[in-house]
Structure 1
Amino acid sequence: MQENNLTETSYTALGFYHKISQLRADTWNELKRDLGILTRLKEESRVKNLIKAVDIKLTRLEIIEDYHAFPSKEDFRHLWTLFNRGEYALLDKVVKRLVRTLISESYRRRHVDLSETDAGAEDMEALDALNQLRRGHPASNSSAQPYFELLIVDNLSNQEEDVVREAFHNMRRSEDSFVYDVVTVKSFEDALIAVLVNPNIQACLIRYEFPYKSKYNLSALRNYLEGLSENELEHHSEAERSILLSSMIHELRPEIDQFLVTSGDVEATASRDIKHFNRIFYRETDYIEQHHTILRAIYSRYRTPFFDALREYSKKPTGVFHAMPISRGKSVTRSHWAGHMIDFYGINIFLAETSATSGGLDSLLQPFGPIKKAQEYAARAFGARSSFFVTNGTSTANKIVVQALIKPRDIVLIDRDCHKSHHYGMVLAGAHVSYLDSYPLDDYSMYGAVPLHEIKKTLLSYKRTGQLHKVKMLLLTNCTFDGIVYNVRRVMEECLAIKPDLVFLWDEAWFAFAGFNPTYRPRTAMNSARTLRDRYRSESYREEYAAWKAEFDKLDPEDDATWLNQRLMPDPDEVRIRTYATHSTHKTLTSLRQGSMIHVWDQDFRQKVEASFHEAYMTHTSTSPNYQIVASLDVGRMQAEMEGFELVHAQVETALSLREQLYTHPLLQKYFRVLKNSDMVPEAYRESGVESYYDPVTGWNKMEEAWARDEFVVDPSRVTIAIGNTGVDGDTFKNEYLMNKYGIQINKTSRNTVLFMTNIGTTRGSIAYLLDVLIKLAKEFENRLEDSSRPERKIIENQVHSLNHDLPPLPDFSRFHDAFRPNPDTTQGDIRCAYFLSYDEENTEYLRFDNGKLQAQMRDGRDVVSASFVIPYPPGFPVLVPGQVISEEILYFLKALDVTEIHGYRPELGLVVFTEEALINPAAG
C-alpha cells in the first residue's frame, strides 16, 4: 500500500466536501480510462507516466474510500496488491467491475466481492448496470430494502476492523426492513470527515477510546473544529470526548442516529448530558441487541404515518355514501368517456381519494392520528417545536401565521419587496405596516435584502417615540428569490436586544432544503431559534452579557450611534425566542404542488398563540384538503430525513459545476456573466472580504468562510446570469430562446438577468444539457454579430448598451399618505383602511402616466396616492401599495419597464388612485 502523501492542491480539492462526490466519480472514471490505455500501450516512456498517474489516482481514491463501505479497505488492499505486482490487465478488469458496481449501486442490494474474477460475477454487474438504466435510478426500485451505512468510531487495527464488520454482516437477516454495511474510522477528526463526505451514513456507533487527530490533513474541517485542539482533547475523559464528538456530529448531520459503547462506568455516563445519543451500550452488550436497536432507530425516521395509512385505506373494500363521486375511482371506472384519466394517473390515486376522516385517515383541521404523528415527525426533521401541513401553498401559510399573531393596529416591520401574500396578509389582519427597504442592485434591476442597520434604526425610531410596545413582528424573506441569505441568528440577536419579545416570521419558501446541509443550516430560522435559546440559557452567555453591558452602560443610550454602530446583546432574563418559518416544500423538496409547511419555535406559543393560531388555521384551510398533498408532505419529510443531506449535497455540486464552466469558458464569458458574491452583496455587508466562492487556482474553498461571517451571502444553487451582452432582455431570452427553442424552463428574470435554479432533482446530465444550449446560443449571438451589416450592428450595440447601462434606479418605498398614517412621528401606514376605501368607485379615479397627465397633477402639488397594489412581473414585488404616495422615481421605473404583465395597472386607463376628496376623511369612508 502506498503512503498517502498528497500535494496541497489535492488536499484543497478533497477538503471542499461540496465537490467530493463528483471528484470521487470522476477519479474512478479517469482511473478506468488510464488502466484501459495502459494495458494496450507498448511505448515505455508513456507507460511510466501512466503508471505514475494510476498511482496518484489510487492514492487519492484510497483517502476518499476510507470513509465509505464500498469498496472496503480489504478491497483496496486487493487493488494495491495488483498494482504493486504490475498485474495491470487484472487491475483494469477489477476497476471496470468496481466502477460498474458504483454506477449501478448494486452494492446496496448484494455483497460484491472484488476478488472474484469469474464470468458470472461480471455478468451480474453488467445486468445490474442495465437494470439501473432501465429504471432511470435505483431509488425507484421501491421493492428493494433501503440501504444505509453504519459508522463505527474506534481505534481498531485492520484485522479488528474486519472482525467487527463481519460480526455486523452476520447479524443481517432477509426479513430485516433495511440492509446496511459498516464504515470504521479511527479518530475524532475522521468521524467528522466521514459524516461530511459520506451521505450513506445514517447511524453512528462511538466505541471505546480514540485519538483526536486524523492521519489526513483535510481542510474541510477548518470551520467546524474552531476552538478545539489535540492537546485539549487529550485531557478529556473517554466519556467527555465521546459526548463532544456526538454533539459535533449532531450539528453537522442531526438526522444521524447515534449510539455510545463504553467500557467505563456506564451508569455514570448515562447520568451525563448525552441528549444526542439514542442509547448507551456497555461493552459486553452483544451485536444482536445493537443490530436491532440501530434498525429500530432507522425505522422511526423511515416511517410515513399518513402515507402508510392512506395506502392501507386504498386497499380496503368500502361502500361510499358521502360526497366525491371520484372516491374509489367509481365515477371514472364506470365512465364511457373519462376512462383515459385512469390510463394516465393509474388507479391508486383514485382508490386513495375520500372526503371521510374515518378509517384511520385523520382530519387535517383537528388531527389526532396519523396526520398528527406526521406533523410531529416534520417538526423533528426541521428542528421545530411544532409543524403544520398546508395544502394550498405558502401564500396561505403566510396569511395563517400573520392572522394568528397580529391584531388590528399592531405594527409589523416588513421588507417591501417580499411576496405579495404578505402584503395581502397585512390587509386581512389590519396591521399597521412599516416597510423596510432592501439594498438595491440597480445594475441588475433587482433588490438584495434589508440591512440590519436599517432594521435597528427603525426599531429605535419606535423606541424614541414611545411606540416600541406596538411593534409586534419583523417579517423578512430568507432566502430571497435571487438567493440572498440573511445572517438570521445575528438579526434576531440584535433585534431582541432592542425589543426582547419581538416575533420573527421568516419566509423560507425557497429555503426548505437548507436544514439538511451543515453550511446552510445555521442560517435557517429554526436552527437559529434553537441555538439562541440554548445560548441564552448558558452561564457562559451570562458572563459575556455582563461584561458587554458594563461597557455599553458607559455610552450615551440616547445616541442612536450607541445602538447602531456595535453588535448588541439581549438580556438573558428578558429575552423570549419567538420564531416562525413558512416553507414551500413543493418548491425545493419533494411534495405535490401547493404542499407547504409552517414551523414554529415560539417559547410563548402555548400560553399566547395556540388558540388564535388554530383559529387562523381553520380560517384559511379547506375543509376538503387534498390527501394526496398531505401524503406527499409526509413522504417528502421522510426523504429529507433519510437522504436530504445527500440530495442537497448533489444539488450544490451541480450548481458549482455549472458556475465553474461559466466562469472559465471563453465564449460563454463573452455573453453570459455569472453574478458572484461581490456582485450581489455590497462590500459593506461582506465582513469576510470574500468576493467569489471560486478561485481558478484553489477551487471552491471560500464558501464556508463567507457563510460563517458575512451579513449576507449568496446561495450558490441559484445561478444568476447577466445577459446584457446578448442584446436580448430577460423576458424575451426566457420565452423565445430558452423555452421555445430548447424547452428549458426558468422562473425568474429581470431586465438583463436570468435565474437558473438547481434543486434536489437536478442531475449532471441536466447541467450538461444547459451548458450545451448556452454554448449554442452564444455561437448564435456570435454569428449574428459577424453577419450583421453596419446598421444592424449599430442596433445590436444600442440594445447591449441599453441593457447594460440604461437601467432605471430601483425606487425605495416613498411614504404612506398622511390620511393613512396613524402617527405622524413614525412611518407605518394603515394598509387595510386604504385597501377597502378603494372598494367604493366614487373614491377612486384613473390617471395615465404615459401621456403625462399624472405627472401634471403631481407638479401642481397634488399628492397622488395609489388605491391598489401595482406589481410588475418581473420583478414581482409591489412597486405601489394602497395608500402609498406615488413618486417621480416610481413613475420613471414603471415607464422604463419593458414587461407586459403589471398587476393592478390597466394601460388603457392608467393607475387607479384616490380622489383628493376621498383622502380628506378616509376613516369615514
Structure 2
Amino acid sequence: MQETSHTETPYTALGFYHKITQLRADTWNALKHDLGQLTRQREDARVKNLIKAIDIKLTRLEIIEDYHAFPSKEDFRHLWSLFNRAEYSLLDKVVKRLVRALISESYRRRHVDLSETDADAEDLETLDALAQLRRGHPASNSSAQPYFELLIVDNLSTPEEEVVREAFYNMRRPEDRFVYDVVTVRSFEDALIAVLVNPNIQACLIRYEFPYKSKYNLSALRSYLEGISEQSLEHQSEAERSILLSTMIHELRPEIDQFLVTSGEVEATASRDIRHFKRIFYRETDYIEQHHTILRAIDNRYRTPFFDALREYSKKPTGVFHAMPISRGKSITRSHWAGQMIDFYGINIFLAETSATSGGLDSLLQPYGPIKKAQEYAARAFGARQSFFVTNGTSTANKIVVQALIKPRDIVLIDRDCHKSHHYGMVLAGAHVSYLDSYPLDDYSMYGAVPLKEIKKTLLGYKRTGQLHKVKMLLLTNCTFDGVVYNVRRVMEECLAIKPDLVFLWDEAWFAFAGFNPTYRPRTAMHAARTLRDRYRSEAYREEYAAWKAAFDALDPDDDATWLDRPLLPDPEAVRIRAYATHSTHKTLTSLRQGSMIHVWDQDYRQKVEAPFHEAYMTHTSTSPNYQIIASLDVGRMQAEMEGFELVHAQVEAAMSLREQLYSHPLLQKYFRVLVNQDMVPLEYRQSGVDTFYDPVTGWNKMEEAWANDEFVVDPSRITIAIGATGIDGDTFKNEYLMNKYGIQINKTSRNTVLFMTNIGTTRGSIAYLLDVLIKLAKEFEDRWEESSRPERKIIENRVHSLTKELPPLPDFSRFHDAFRPDAGGNTPEGDIRQAYFLSYDDENTEYLRFDNGELQAQMRSGRDVVSASFVIPYPPGFPVLVPGQVVSEEILYFLQALDVTEIHGYRPELGLLVFTEEALRNPPAG
C-alpha cells in the first residue's frame, strides 16, 4: 500500500464533490484500460508510462474508496500488493472483476472475494451482469434485500477496523429485511467527506475519541467547515465533539440515522442536546443490539404506509356494490372489447381501485390511517411541520394555500410573472394584488426574479402609508422555470424585519428535489423556516439584534437608504415564522402526473390556519381522489429519503457533464451558447462575484461560494441555451428539430432560447444522445450555410440579427386602473383583480380593440386609459403581459406588436384585445 506521498495532489480532483461519482467510475474504467494495454505492451518506454499512469490512478482511487465499503481497505491492500510485485496480469484480472462488480452492483447482493480469480467467479460476475440487463436497475428488483452502508467514526487501527467490520458482517441473517456493509473513518473531517461522496451511507455510528483532521487535503469541505478548526475543537470534550459532528452530518444529509456509542457516563450524555441521535449505546461491543436497532431505523424510512395498504387491499376478495365498475377490474375483465387496458396496464392497477367512501382504504379528505401516516412521513422527509398530498397538481395546491390564508381585501405581494394558477388564486380569494417586477433579461426574452430591494421598497411604502397591517402574504416562485433561485432565508429575514408576521408562500413546483442535496437545501422554504426559528430562539441572536438595533436607531428612518441599502434584522420578541411551500412532486421526483404536495412550517398554523386550511383543502380536492397518485407520492417520498441524495447527486453530475461539453466543443459553441450565472443574474445580485460555476482550468469549484452568499443563483441542472445564432426561433427549434427529427422533448423555450432540464431519471446515455443530436444539428447548420446562395445567406443573417439584436424590451407591470384600486389616491399600488375579472362577464362592459390596424393606438393617443378585461399571456414566454384591470401601456403594446409568436392566450387576432368600455370604468360595481 502506498503512503502519504500519493495523497495530496490527486485529491484536488475531489474538491467539487458533485463530480465524484463520475470521477470514480471513469477512473476505474481508465485503470482497467491501462492494465489491459500494459499486459499486451512490449515497448519499454510505453510500459514505463503505463506503470506510472496506473500508479496515479490507483492512488486516486484509494482515496475515493477509503469512503466506500466496496472495494474494502483490505481489497485495496491486495491491489497494491499485486502492483508492487509487478504481477500485472493478475492485477488486470482482479481489476476487471472488481469493475464488473461495481457496474453490475453484485457487491450489493453477495460478498465479492477479489482473491478469487477462477472461472466460476468470472462466470458468476457475468451472470450478475446479464441479470441486471434483463431486470433493469437493481432498485426495480423488489425481491432483493435493499443494500446500504453503515459509517463508523472511530480512531481505530487497521486490525481493529477489520475486527469491527467482521463483527457486523457476522450479524447479518438471511431473514433480515436489509443487507449492509461497513465503512470506517478515523476523523471528524473524514466522516463529513464520507457522507458527501458515498450515497450508500444510510446510518452512522459515532464513537468517542476521534481526531479532527483528516490525512487528506479535504478541499471539498471548505464551505461546510466555516468557523470550525482543529484549534476550536481542542478544548471540547469528546461528547461535545461527537454532538457537533452529528449536527453537521444532519445538516449535510438529514436522512441518515445516527447513533452514539460511549464508554463514559451514558446518563450524562443523554441529558445533553442529542436530538440527531436515534439512540445512545453503552459498551462498544454490543453488536447484536446495534445491528437490530440500525435495521429498525432504516425500516422506519423504508415503509410506505399507503402503498403497503393499497397492495394489501388489492389482494383481498371483495364484493363490489359501489359506484366504480372498474374497481377490481370487473368491467374490464368481463369485456369483449376493452381487454387491451389490462394488456397495457396489467391487472394490479384495477385491483387497487376503490371508492374513497367504500371503507376499503383511508380518506384523503379526512385521513386517519395510512394516508395520515404517509403525510407525516412526507413532513419528516421534507423538513416540514405538516405536509399534505394533492392529487390534481400544484395549480390546485397553490389555490388551496391562498384560499386558506387570504380573506377578501387582504393585500398580497406577488411576482407578476409567476404561474397563472396564482393569478387565478387571487381572483378566487378576492385578494388585493400588489404586483412585483422581476429583473428582465431582455436579450433572452425571459425574466429573472424579484430583487429583495424591490420587495422591501414595496413593504416600506405600505408601512409609511399606514397600510402594512393589510399586507398578509409574499408569494414568490423558487426556483423559476429557468432556474433562478432566491436566497430564501435572506428574503424572509429582511421582510420579517419590516413586517414580523408576514406569511410566505414559496412556489417550489420545480424545486422539490432540492431538499436532498446539501448545496441546494439551504435555499428551500422549509429549511430556511426551521433555520430562522432556531436562530431567533438563540441568545447569540438576541445579542446580535441588540447591537444591530442600536446602530439602526441612530440612522434616519425616513431615508430609504436606511432600509434598502443595508441588511435588516427582525425583533426576536415579535417575529413569527410562517412559511408554506408547494411542490410538483411529479416534476422533479417520483410520482404520477399531478402528484403534488403542500408543506407547512407555520408557528401559527394550529391557532389561526388549521380550520380554514381544511375547508380550502375540501373545496379544491376531489371526493374521488386517484389512489394510484397517492401511492406514488408515498413511494416517491420513501425513495427521496432512501436515495434522494444519490439521485440528485447523479442529476447534477449529468448536467455538469453536459455543460462541460457545451462549453468546450468548438462547433457547438458556434451555434449554441450555454447561459451561465452572469448571463442570468446581474452583477448587483452576485455578491460573490462568481460569473460562472465552471472554469476550463480549475473545473467546477465556485458553486458553493455563490450558493452560500448571492442574492440569486442559477440551478446548474437547468441548461438554458441561446440559439439565436442558428437563425431559428425557440418554438420552431423545439418542435421541428428536436422533437420531430430526434424525439427529444423539452418544456420551455423563449424567442431565442431552449431549456434542457436534467432530473433524477437522466442518465449519462441520455446526455450522450443529446450531445450527439446537437452536434448533428450544428453540422447541419454548417452545411446549410456553405450550400446557401447569396440571397439565402442574407435571409439567414437577417433571422440571426432578428433573434439576437431585435428583441423587444420586456415590459414592467404598468398599473391598475383607478376603478379597481382600493386606494384611489394612488399611495399604494394594489388592485382588486377579482372585481375586474367578474366585471368582464357582462358583455356590455367590454369591447374589442385591434392594435394591428392602429385602432387601439388611436384610442390611447386620444387620452383614453385602455384597460384589459382579461389575462393576456403570450406563449412563449408564458407570463401574463396583462391582467384584468391593468392599464395598457405603450411599452406593453410595443412588446405585443414585436412578438412573432402565434399563441397568445386571451387575444383573438380577428377581434383584438378585450378591454373595458369607458362607461364600465366610470361606474364599476362596488368591490
Question: TM-score, normalised on structure 1?
Answer: 0.99
Unaligned runs of 5+ in 2: none
SS of corresponding position for 1:850: coil
- Residue 863 (structure 1) aligns with: 865
SS of corresponding position for 2:921: coil
Q: Deviations over 1:386-417 (max 9, x none)?
A: 00000000000000000000000000000000
SS of corresponding position for 1:661: helix
- Residue 650 (structure 2) aligns with: 650
Task: Verify the 8 A CA contact 2:473 2:505 in the aligned structure 1.
Answer: yes
Q: Deviations over 1:662-721 (max 9, x none)?
A: 000000000000000000000000000000000001100000000000000000000000
CA distance in 2, matches of 1:389, 1:664: 43
Q: Deviations over 1:204-256 (max 9, x none)?
A: 00012100000001211000000011012122111000000000000000000
Give the partner amino acid of 1:29: N
CA distance in 1, matches of 2:858, 2:11: 67
- Equivalenced residue count is 925
- Cα 1:67/1:359, change in 2 over 3 Å: farther
- Residue 381 (structure 1) aligns with: 381
Task: Verify the 8 A CA contact 1:835 1:868 in the aligned structure 2.
Answer: yes
CA distance in 1, matches of 2:597, 2:442: 34
Q: CA deviation at 1:358?
A: 5.4
CA distance in 2, matches of 1:184, 1:735: 52
- Residue 907 (structure 1) aligns with: 909
Q: Deviations over 1:483-531 (max 9, x none)?
A: 0000000000000000000000000000000000000000000000000
Q: Deviations over 1:420-464 (max 9, x none)?
A: 000000000000000000000000000000000000000000001
Task: Verify the 8 A CA contact 1:494 1:568 in the aligned structure 2.
Answer: yes
CA distance in 1, matches of 2:437, 2:525: 21
Unaligned runs of 5+ in 1: none
CA distance in 2, matches of 1:133, 1:663: 34
CA distance in 1, matches of 2:359, 2:841: 46
- Residue 732 (structure 2) aligns with: 732
CA distance in 1, matches of 2:431, 2:357: 36
CA distance in 1, matches of 2:108, 2:352: 31
- Cα 1:436/1:9, change in 2 over 3 Å: farther
Task: Verify the 8 A CA contact 2:11 2:63 in the aligned structure 1.
Answer: no
CA distance in 2, matches of 1:78, 1:325: 64
Matches of residues 528-539 of structure 1 in structure 2 within 5 Å?
528-539=528-539
CA distance in 2, matches of 1:511, 1:566: 29
Q: CA deviation at 1:91?
A: 0.3
- Indicate which of 872, 879, 882 corresponds to 1:880: 882
- Residue 183 (structure 1) aligns with: 183
CA distance in 1, matches of 2:591, 2:122: 39
CA distance in 2, matches of 1:172, 1:773: 48
- Residue 834 (structure 1) aligns with: 836
SS of corresponding position for 2:466: coil
SS of corresponding position for 1:615: helix
- Residue 426 (structure 1) aligns with: 426
Matches of residues 530-609 of structure 1 in structure 2 within 5 Å?
530-609=530-609
CA distance in 1, matches of 2:614, 2:410: 20
- Residue 500 (structure 1) aligns with: 500
CA distance in 2, matches of 1:593, 1:340: 22
- Residue 324 (structure 2) aligns with: 324
Matches of residues 642-681 of structure 1 in structure 2 within 5 Å?
642-681=642-681
SS of corresponding position for 2:40: coil
- Residue 417 (structure 1) aligns with: 417
CA distance in 2, matches of 1:896, 1:742: 31
- Residue 102 (structure 2) aligns with: 102
CA distance in 2, matches of 1:202, 1:898: 53
Q: CA deviation at 1:924?
A: 5.0
Give the partner amino acid of 1:464: R
Matches of residues 82-121 of structure 1 in structure 2 within 5 Å?
82-121=82-121
Matches of residues 135-174 of structure 1 in structure 2 within 5 Å?
135-174=135-174
SS of corresponding position for 2:920: coil
- Residue 783 (structure 1) aligns with: 783
- Cα 1:356/1:435, change in 2 over 3 Å: closer
CA distance in 2, matches of 1:848, 1:59: 72
Q: CA deviation at 1:6?
A: 5.1
CA distance in 2, matches of 1:90, 1:795: 64
Task: Verify the 8 A CA contact 1:360 1:369 in the aligned structure 2.
Answer: no
Q: Deviations over 1:258-294 (max 9, x none)?
A: 0000111100000000000000001256101000000
Q: CA deviation at 1:3?
A: 2.4
Task: Verify the 8 A CA contact 1:313 1:359 in the aligned structure 2.
Answer: no
Task: Verify the 8 A CA contact 1:586 1:595 in the aligned structure 2.
Answer: yes
Q: CA deviation at 1:549?
A: 0.4
Task: Verify the 8 A CA contact 1:418 1:476 in the aligned structure 2.
Answer: yes
Q: Deviations over 1:535-568 (max 9, x none)?
A: 0000000000000001001001122211111000
CA distance in 1, matches of 2:926, 2:116: 89
Task: Verify the 8 A CA contact 1:9 1:698 in the aligned structure 2.
Answer: no
Task: Verify the 8 A CA contact 1:4 1:63 in the aligned structure 2.
Answer: no
Q: CA deviation at 1:825?
A: 1.1
Q: CA deviation at 1:532?
A: 0.1
Task: Verify the 8 A CA contact 1:12 1:698 in the aligned structure 2.
Answer: no
Asked if 1:123 is matched to 2:123, the reply is yes
Give the partner amino acid of 2:476: L
- Residue 525 (structure 2) aligns with: 525
- Residue 631 (structure 2) aligns with: 631
Give the partner amino acid of 1:864: V
CA distance in 1, matches of 2:901, 2:759: 27
Give the partner amino acid of 1:858: M
- Residue 792 (structure 2) aligns with: 792
CA distance in 1, matches of 2:817, 2:5: 70
Give the partner amino acid of 1:27: T
Task: Verify the 8 A CA contact 1:309 1:360 in the aligned structure 2.
Answer: no
Give the partner amino acid of 2:107: Y
CA distance in 1, matches of 2:106, 2:431: 58
SS of corresponding position for 1:531: helix
Give the partner amino acid of 1:771: L
Comparing 381-390 and 551-560, the one that deviates more: 551-560
Q: CA deviation at 1:892?
A: 1.2
CA distance in 1, matches of 2:905, 2:728: 24
Q: CA deviation at 1:132?
A: 1.2
Give the partner amino acid of 1:755: L
Q: Deviations over 1:896-922 (max 9, x none)?
A: 222221111111111100000000121
- Residue 45 (structure 1) aligns with: 45
SS of corresponding position for 1:917: helix
Give the partner amino acid of 2:831: G
Q: CA deviation at 1:874?
A: 1.1
CA distance in 1, matches of 2:716, 2:859: 46
CA distance in 2, matches of 1:71, 1:681: 43
CA distance in 1, matches of 2:621, 2:854: 45
Task: Verify the 8 A CA contact 1:672 1:721 in the aligned structure 2.
Answer: yes
Q: CA deviation at 1:7?
A: 8.4
- Cα 1:910/1:7, change in 2 over 3 Å: farther
Q: Deviations over 1:863-884 (max 9, x none)?
A: 0000000111111111100000
CA distance in 2, matches of 1:8, 1:560: 52
Q: CA deviation at 1:46?
A: 0.4
- Residue 698 (structure 1) aligns with: 698
Matches of residues 176-215 of structure 1 in structure 2 within 5 Å?
176-215=176-215
CA distance in 1, matches of 2:14, 2:88: 26
Q: CA deviation at 1:5?
A: 3.6
Comparing 121-130 and 292-301, the one that deviates more: 121-130
Give the partner amino acid of 2:683: E
Task: Verify the 8 A CA contact 1:12 1:701 in the aligned structure 2.
Answer: no
Give the partner amino acid of 1:461: G
- Residue 851 (structure 2) aligns with: 849
- Cα 1:218/1:285, change in 2 over 3 Å: closer
CA distance in 2, matches of 1:365, 1:13: 52
Structural RMSD (CA): 0.9
Matches of residues 3-18 of structure 1 in structure 2 within 5 Å?
3-5=3-5, 10-18=10-18
